[in-house]
Structure 1
């Protein structure tokens, strides 16, 4: 119960890593504010974990800022929401690129601004975890907008860690390899596709959402009280090859 009495805001809470984080952190005593664009997902989250639900489209900057302010005060923040659309460089549309940057980078900035301003005004410490991807380190084909947006998020994480660390707010990034959400299980079921990726992972498997959630929980916790500004791979050793 290391988060007993803590209120945690989690974006992208409806599915995948975000949902796994809701499950783990709520079981460790946290009161969860769950942000998602899916009303159906929010209903199930509320029923299962007693979350405070908030439906928001993080591609809309004004809606995102309004939602961030509505959730306050919160003790901890997890920026987990993300979008991915596969397009090669030569076919990457302006619309797709802007959407990736808006959801994957701009929304975490806005949410973190409102969260940090509130903590600083009250003289309170805090912690933010930004969920990035190993795609920020690797130039995966057909992922131009996604890789660019996650690289931008990493740069933002480091600047936030530098500036907000002086105010007692830690900021860290988590970088999973392919994560076995229901969508990913389907997308990576073909051995011809999954084989080359798995061959680079010494652990010989992809990561489970619960395993990423456990790292998020550690970085939010007091156990990580001097961990600030890191890029934490959760990749079974993918990046060493």
Structure 2
């Protein structure tokens, strides 16, 4: 599987799952755009890791993948459009868009503020909508096919009490993907969701340091462990490749079996 000659933008890729995706795509030969909002040191770390990959990719012969960092807040539509434009301006094109950036806010439903609701929906759904729209416009102008991979969540299907706005955003992403699979198919553009479960990333630091809560969660995961960013990244790389040309409109769960075994404690 090779992505040599392809250019990929991964939103929210200064750490965690996004960083893992950037590194996996670079290992497959793609040039990558690293996006961050407020973590420039993380973006620089991702950049240095791409530079260090060199010949350690999954190809017999792999040139050094190029990487470029761009700051943008995915909750701001103007910045989203500028992110796409700057990425194209730097590399000359985009072939792959990975909508990874996302946030969550914890609160009982009756205490959710309008500001928190807007923050979650703006990044997780509105930003995804307009990043994808701008990317599709670029593909149409250049008359090329392309790949869109959204990082959704098991919570596009699984209720998550006290995170209603987050669940709403991921449920919206599910229908967004299904609808665009129909609308974009004739253009040779595929779109799919990758839905992680519990992944060991910085966002879960509090959980990782709470043995009781971690133990309760692990009991719900048939494979008995948290996922790693590379578990998600490997599937993203497959969906971005020509091996997945006949796959569109689907959600792929990367959750160790959590979705079908979960029970609220």
TM superposition score category, shorter chain reference: over 0.9
Distance in 2 between residues matched to 1:39 and 1:195, nearest whole Å:
33
Deviation at 1:198, TM superposition (A): 1.9
2:133 to 113, 119, 123: 113
Kindly indicate whether residue 129 of structure 2 is the aligned counterpart of residue 98 of structure 1: no
Contact 2:12 2:102 in 1 (8 A): yes
SS in 1 for 2:259: helix
Q: Deviations over 1:60-113 (max 9, x none)?
A: 111111222222221111000011111111111111111111100111111111
| 1:77-226 superposed matches below 5 A | 77-226=97-246
Unaligned stretches of 5+ in structure 1? none
Kindly indicate whether residue 35 of structure 2 is the aligned counterpart of residue 32 of structure 1: no
- CA RMSD across the alignment: 1.4
Contact 2:15 2:43 in 1 (8 A): no
Contact 2:36 2:71 in 1 (8 A): yes
User: What TM-score do the two structures reach when normalised by structure 1?
Assistant: 0.95
SS in 1 for 2:194: strand
User: What TM-score do the two structures reach when normalised by structure 2?
Assistant: 0.87
Paired residues, number: 241
Unaligned stretches of 5+ in structure 2? 52-66
Deviation at 1:118, TM superposition (A): 1.2
Moved more, 52-61 or 35-44: 35-44
Q: Deviations over 1:17-60 (max 9, x none)?
A: 10001111111111001111122222222333252110011111
